[in-house]
Amino acid sequence: MKMNKLFNIMPAIMLVVMISVGCKKDKPVPIEVEVPKPMAGFTVAKTDSVDFLSYQFTSTSSNYEELLWQFGDDSTSVEKSPKHKYAFEGLYHVVLTSRNSQGYSASKEIILNVADPNFDRTKVGESYFATIGGTFTVSRDNGGGPNSNEGSLKVVDGDPNSKFFQSGFSGDLVMKYELKTAALAGAYTMISANDSPDRDPKTWILQGSEDGIRWINLHTRTNEVFSGRAQRKLYHFNNNVAYKFYRISIKANNGSRDFQMAEWTVNKKQP
């Protein structure tokens, strides 16, 4: 009899449990308050009137938690107002990014012209081939040899009226100079020969090496044009290593099966 009463009240108990569960109060969902969006801004100034490579960067950003500076030379900083020194003059893409706690970001970017006010692009220092000396070789010489009338040594003899001529040019000519002692170069010159503009160098790579084994690219020209005969062209490049070996690889001329050039020098950057 008691069992029958228990079975009779079971549905009522289950109903009460179900009602209790159904009426359970849900926990409140936290509402995220949106914070102000970040703003990015900065000023930049030279730190010294003489040291043209050093700059002070000052953030004027607001509503941020994190900052990231990118100075355009593979260097970065997370400081609010960092100082930065560049290795070389040039144009640098500077970017400041500010980010808030919710992942919103803003950025400001400029092109910074880092220039030496005393640098004169029309001038060049001494030719190391003349002042230091060394050994000059080419990957393939004139048929008459390096000392012939148009042999390879003519391109480093200091005489713009002589020339190095190579027949059967195929874009693989390498001219190499090993200095007696390593020197810090920052420029080089080339002089076109007396005739046949189609033989002029057009595309080349200048490289430096400390040991003659590992080579570093220093300067590249593509589709260069010499507009006249015996025309001297001056090229500057960034470099802070004194190399003992310098070489220039001529990849293309103006279409001739022959190559010629009057002079090549590697130089100190400024007098």
Q: How many domains does the chain have?
A: 2
pLDDT at 190 over 80: yes
pLDDT of residue 5: 46
Structural domain span for residue 96: 42-114
The reply to whether 88 and 134 lie within a common domain is no
Residue 135, strand partner residues: 178
The reply to whether 63 and 167 lie within a common domain is no
Confidence of residue 34 (pLDDT cuts 50, 70, 90): confident
The reply to whether 54 and 146 lie within a common domain is no
Is residue 27 domain-resident? no
pLDDT of residue 113: 96
pLDDT at 11 over 80: no
- Where does residue 266 rank: exposed (0-12), middle (13-18), buried (19+ CB within 10 A)? buried
The residue type found at 216 is I
pLDDT cut 90: percent of the chain above it: 86
pLDDT of residue 49: 85
Q: Taking all residues of the chain, what is their mean pLDDT, rounded to a whole number?
A: 92
pLDDT at 226 over 60: yes
Residue 21, strand partner residues: none
pLDDT of residue 29: 67
Phi and psi at residue 248, to the nearest 5°: -130, 125
For residues 110 and 91, what is the distance between their CA atoms, to the nearest angstrom? 10
Among 55, 85, 114, identify where a domain stops. 114
- What's the average model confidence in pLDDT over 20-37? 68
pLDDT at 19 over 50: no
Q: Which helix (H) or strand (E) holds 263?
A: strand 263-267
pLDDT at 1 over 50: no
- What's the average model confidence in pLDDT over 83-110? 96
